[in-house]
A and B are shown apart, each in its own frame.
Chain A
């Protein structure tokens, strides 16, 4: 049984450039490669790929041509810019905000004692239990580069990671937020027409990481992303993704709450039509006391578009007083749209409150009628209702100015 899967992995890996770097990085890559070979790449019969065909991600060559041409016009104030492109990663070395250390994977591999050494591939490996994430392993094994960010204080400027797209990209970023430190990362655009991108995020005690990702609108893009996060005591993680295009997008988040009193929110707003297939797969593990997690996902789908939500809350034995919340909602604007969901709870502690809800349906006719009766033209009324529906997910962004900027962009895209 394993042989064909292994062949797929080898074919895919054969198309990737040789891993760069030396020393610890090579060891970490070899380990990931061994793990990947042991499980193989996902296939259609894989339960975790029940609703999304993984083959565009596992095929040796991308099934999309060209490079995405994203225009994400997001007002981020004086954000600190990091540009990731085919020829490397660039930033203004003279203007790095206080409390922040920046490096690249390709360079760090040459340094024997590096803070990323104990992190690279470890959160990804931990996130592969109990459900293996072969495409995450692939990023550890074969990433051509990645941004390494370490926040050791409260970073007061937002960090803006943007991409100069390639045809086929594999990237692996690492973030370490030290105790009591805080940083906000805004990621815009797509690294490649096809890409497999992972973020490993380690948030130490009382640290805070805010992550906002705007995936571009370019059609014909196959995006597979991962967030692997570990949360220390009293720490905070907020991750939000806006998706408005691309043919195929799978955003996975694997969150491990290991410290007491930690809080995680994973949210997403997505809208698309036609070939748009959007998959949010989330796995939150609570292994400590008083943990809190929220998963808030909204999708608006039209003309053959498919939305997928697979969310899971796992509360380990002894993780008492956990508060886990999960909501997935979709608005189907016509009869060809499809929504598929598998919201799971797995709970081994008795003193917890966990809930999930999921709703699917058409636009509220009463609300539409009300707006029409006030003279709002039909299309505008629909846009308004869609916007208010999606806004509930955008509300999960805590940074007010950023929330407003994302809402404005979303409104502009919806009207356009």
Chain B
């Protein structure tokens, strides 16, 4: 019996095994753009913080805010409670700022942007020209005027933002955060750090000190944002951390749908990504925030990949405000991420829909926090975790009903699916109920891919991988349905790609 035979299990033929082997390492976005880069010196110090601030032409108050965060950060200890393991990060062995040399002078319009950068985004399916919809998505009937505005962040800087003028007509501000600090200092100063204080946690504090770019959105009173907004993050430079900061303010009665995508080249060394996303919602405002996280996950043996340590929080300050987090987490070597909702306004609503897929040596510790403070607040959590290979996938969440959050409601469902016998799926929910007029329900299940469903698909002529992908897509349906159309297509394909090589 040769080595290959031992890999073949009952019901899996040799072709499948061969196909699986040839498919391993199929990360689509693992290429690298050769481009001249300008780096800040390696390491982290007050000088680097000053340098980043100077590069962005920031006012004094912004620098002080950063320096204060930096000083706090030096006194903090890295959290170790998550069910993830990774070698100690040497924070002095990283670049904290890298920008394409061609961006030294900010281009006045997209036409002036280095074609290599435009090419990079085109290759990722995110062309930086003002076109109706993202490449690769067919417009459904009756949706001819569907538009998506894109802010593209390349390493430490924003390359460009599309449809700015058209958005401005509606009163919507959509620009990079560095631009917002200069152009709209009052708004930034009022809201930055008001949801995630600079001292919030280790990575948020680090981010506050060194964030280089990110997106800023302000939707004024009563405005329904005329198009989807999107930010596309690309880490390209080696040994460079990306620390973006996103701030979205939805004023009274406004609505915005925001999409976020991320990829990185395939490299042998792990890279750090520590982002902060702050959402502020006033009375009757609504934000739909969707993420397809597809950072490079490392190879099958866990070499390389992105360490994704992200703090995301929405503050529903206004009455009847509503926030919806939807995430598809397929990438990253290590994920540490808990998009949360502070339901402060009476009758406010928070929703969290998540698919987290961990394959090979990936580790994901992700979930949400629903903090009910206002009366009659509602939250819903639907989390689907899928583990394959030797991966570890953890759902960690908090539902907290404060004494004043009368008549509130939470429903939580977290399901885990295991593919293969060497992976792990874990659930760590915290439920805290401090009044009796609220109802909290929590359900969790862990199981393997249903044999009957697989057999059915196989008997219809599908190969094993196709069948698993279909069953898994069915398992994730509730979450996939919550995604905007542009992402739903990509996400469905991602679910299949991430699991390639996990069967057999």
Contact A361 B439 (CB under 8 A): yes
Bound-state CA distance A178–B281 (Å) is: 64
Interface residues of B, count at CB 8 A: 36
Contact A355 B424 (CB under 8 A): no
A360 within 8 A of partner (CB): yes
The one of B406, B425, B442, B445 in contact with A358, judged by C-beta atoms closer than 8 angstroms, is B442
Contacts of B427 in A (CB 8 A): 343-346, 356
Q: How many whole Å from A321's CB to the nearest CB in chain B?
A: 10
Other 13 A-B pairs with CB < 8 A, given A346-B424, A355-B443, A362-B436: A330-B433, A338-B432, A340-B431, A342-B428, A343-B431, A345-B427, A350-B418, A350-B421, A355-B445, A356-B427, A359-B442, A360-B438, A360-B439
A398 within 8 A of partner (CB): no
B423 within 8 A of partner (CB): yes
Knowing A352-B446, A355-B443 are in contact, say whether A347-B433 is a contact too (CB < 8 A): no
The one of A47, A348, A359 in contact with B440, judged by C-beta atoms closer than 8 angstroms, is A359
Knowing A346-B426, A347-B426 are in contact, say whether A361-B443 is a contact too (CB < 8 A): no
Bound-state CA distance A338–B435 (Å) is: 7
B contact patch SS:
strand
| Interface residues as binary, A338-380 with B (CB distance below 8 Å gives 1, 0 otherwise) | 1111111111111111111111111000000000000000000
Contacts of A350 in B (CB 8 A): 418-421, 423, 448
Contact A361 B426 (CB under 8 A): no
Bound-state CA distance A347–B387 (Å) is: 11
The one of B425, B436, B447 in contact with A353, judged by C-beta atoms closer than 8 angstroms, is B447
The one of A47, A335, A342, A345 in contact with B444, judged by C-beta atoms closer than 8 angstroms, is A345
The one of A334, A353, A360 in contact with B431, judged by C-beta atoms closer than 8 angstroms, is A360
A101 within 8 A of partner (CB): no
Knowing A340-B431, A343-B429, A344-B427 are in contact, say whether A354-B445 is a contact too (CB < 8 A): yes
Please give the residue numbers on chain A whose beta carbons come within 8 Å of chain B beta carbons, in ascending order: 47, 317-318, 320, 330, 332-335, 337-362
Contact A342 B431 (CB under 8 A): yes
Q: How many whole Å from A308's CB to the nearest CB in chain B?
A: 10
Contact B81 A353 (CB under 8 A): no
Contact A318 B441 (CB under 8 A): no
Contacts of A337 in B (CB 8 A): 436
Q: How many whole Å from B10's CB to the nearest CB in chain A?
A: 14
B403 within 8 A of partner (CB): yes
The one of A333, A338, A346, A355 in contact with B433, judged by C-beta atoms closer than 8 angstroms, is A338
| Interface residues as binary, B114-138 with A (CB distance below 8 Å gives 1, 0 otherwise) | 0000000000000000000000000
The one of A320, A344, A349 in contact with B428, judged by C-beta atoms closer than 8 angstroms, is A344
Contacts of B19 in A (CB 8 A): none
Knowing A334-B436, A342-B430 are in contact, say whether A357-B448 is a contact too (CB < 8 A): no
Contact A345 B446 (CB under 8 A): yes
Q: Can you show 19 pairs from A to B with CB atoms below 8 A apart? A: A317-B421, A330-B433, A332-B435, A335-B437, A340-B432, A344-B428, A347-B416, A347-B426, A347-B446, A351-B421, A352-B446, A352-B448, A353-B445, A354-B447, A356-B427, A358-B429, A358-B431, A358-B440, A360-B440
Interface centre among A320, A333, A355 (most CB of B within 10 A): A355
The one of B421, B432, B444, B447 in contact with A356, judged by C-beta atoms closer than 8 angstroms, is B444
A contact patch SS:
strand
Bound-state CA distance A347–B393 (Å) is: 10
- Which residue of B has the minimal Cβ distance to A354? B446
Knowing A332-B436, A340-B433, A350-B421 are in contact, say whether A357-B443 is a contact too (CB < 8 A): yes
Contacts of B423 in A (CB 8 A): 348, 350
Contact B433 A339 (CB under 8 A): yes
Contacts of A353 in B (CB 8 A): 445-447
Contact A359 B421 (CB under 8 A): no
- Which residue of B has the minimal Cβ distance to A314? B426
Bound-state CA distance A356–B426 (Å) is: 12
Closest 7 pairs between A and B when the two form their complex, measured CB to CB: A332-B436, A350-B418, A361-B439, A345-B427, A341-B431, A358-B442, A355-B445
Bound-state CA distance A339–B421 (Å) is: 36
B434 within 8 A of partner (CB): yes
Q: How many whole Å from B399's CB to the nearest CB in chain A?
A: 9
Bound-state CA distance A373–B33 (Å) is: 75
| Interface residues as binary, B396-412 with A (CB distance below 8 Å gives 1, 0 otherwise) | 00000001001000000
Contacts of B418 in A (CB 8 A): 347, 349-350, 352
Contacts of A342 in B (CB 8 A): 428-431
The one of B403, B426, B431, B437 in contact with A345, judged by C-beta atoms closer than 8 angstroms, is B426
Q: How many whole Å from B442's CB to the nearest CB in chain A?
A: 4
Contacts of B438 in A (CB 8 A): 360-361
Bound-state CA distance A360–B440 (Å) is: 5
Bound-state CA distance A356–B397 (Å) is: 14
Contacts of A320 in B (CB 8 A): 421
Q: How many whole Å from A295's CB to the nearest CB in chain B?
A: 13
Q: How many whole Å from A276's CB to the nearest CB in chain B?
A: 15
B422 within 8 A of partner (CB): yes
Contacts of A357 in B (CB 8 A): 441-444
